[in-house]
Amino acid sequence: RWQKIFMFPLWSKMAVFWNKMFLTIIVLLIVLFLDAVREVRKYSSVHVNEKAANVNSSAFDHIQMKLFRSQRNLYLSGFSLFLWLVLRRTVTLLTQLAKEMASHAALETQVNDATEAAKKYMAENERLQEALSGKGDSKKKESTDATEQKLKEEVERLKAELQKTSNAFHKAKTEVAAFKKQSEGLRREYEHLMKEFEQLQQSLNKAEDKKDL
């Protein structure tokens, strides 16, 4: 069902737009991150200078508030940039996994078809051998031998194709398992980062509430 939904032509037309949108958001987050780094450095130096000069408390609190907001912006933009990249990588891996699973199903169908064809040719070969053993006519025997030889060659060819298809099937199965394992690791890392981000957000909110009080 999901495969049918994602095979709509609309998504392929929107793919270019979404890629441009992703790059735009990445550039925006990088600009915000660099601006936050600049603000933190700026207000850190001002904070140290004002503290050493022993100015009035209101100006010192104002500078401290500016420093806190710049640090908060730095954390938010940094985590957003990192999580956005992790999300992009996760989507890429899921897409590759879906493609490998589709190729895996196609290879499995091909292996089954090759197996059925090999069984069919082997059954015909057995019938010809039985017919050969029941008849003594030399001409028919020579013709049957030639047909049998052709059938043997065809069976050998089908066996070789079956072996090649089986190797490709096992290779695709191994790649699918590797993609699943990598996707699971990224999912666990994403959940861990989300928990750390929530904890950091809660601590920042508490610190901001204290400053407002």
Instruction: Read off the pLDDT of residues 20-74 as tens digits, 9 standing for 90 and up.
Output: 888 888 899 899 999 989 888 888 876 666 554 555 667 777 778 888 888 888 8
In a domain, residue 80? The reply is: yes
Instruction: Report the pLDDT value the prediction gives residue 70, as an integer from 0 to 100.
Output: 86
Residues 6+ apart with CB under 8 A from 137: none
Instruction: Report the pLDDT value the prediction gives residue 31, as an integer from 0 to 100.
Output: 92
Instruction: Report the pLDDT value the prediction gives residue 51, as an integer from 0 to 100.
Output: 55
Q: Which of 80-89, 98-107, 204-213 has the lowest mean pLDDT?
A: 204-213
Q: Considering the chain, what percentage of its residues have pLDDT values greater than 90?
A: 2
Burial 165-185 (b: 16+ CB within 10 A, else e): beeebeebeeebeebeeebee
Binning pLDDT at 50, 70 and 90, where does residue 208 land? low
In a domain, residue 147? The reply is: no
Average pLDDT score over the chain = 77
Instruction: Report the pLDDT value the prediction gives residue 132, as an integer from 0 to 100.
Output: 66
Please give the tally of structural domains in the chain: 1
Instruction: Give CA–CA dist 31/42, Å, rounded.
Output: 16
Instruction: Report the pLDDT value the prediction gives residue 141, as an integer from 0 to 100.
Output: 56
Please state the rounded mean pLDDT for residues 99-123.
80
Range of the domain at 90: 8-124
In a domain, residue 84? The reply is: yes
In a domain, residue 53? The reply is: yes
Q: Is the pLDDT of residue 204 over 60?
A: yes
Binning pLDDT at 50, 70 and 90, where does residue 194 land? confident
Structure tokens at 104: 């895996």
Residues 6+ apart with CB under 8 A from 194: 83
Interval 70-98: pLDDT, tens: 888 889 988 988 998 888 888 788 878 87
Please state the rounded mean pLDDT for residues 155-179.
80
In a domain, residue 69? The reply is: yes
Please state the rounded mean pLDDT for residues 190-194.
78
How many Cα atoms occupy the beta-carbon half-sphere of 69 within 13 Å? 8
In a domain, residue 28? The reply is: yes
In a domain, residue 166? The reply is: no
In a domain, residue 57? The reply is: yes
Interval 146-166: pLDDT, tens: 777 887 888 788 888 888 877
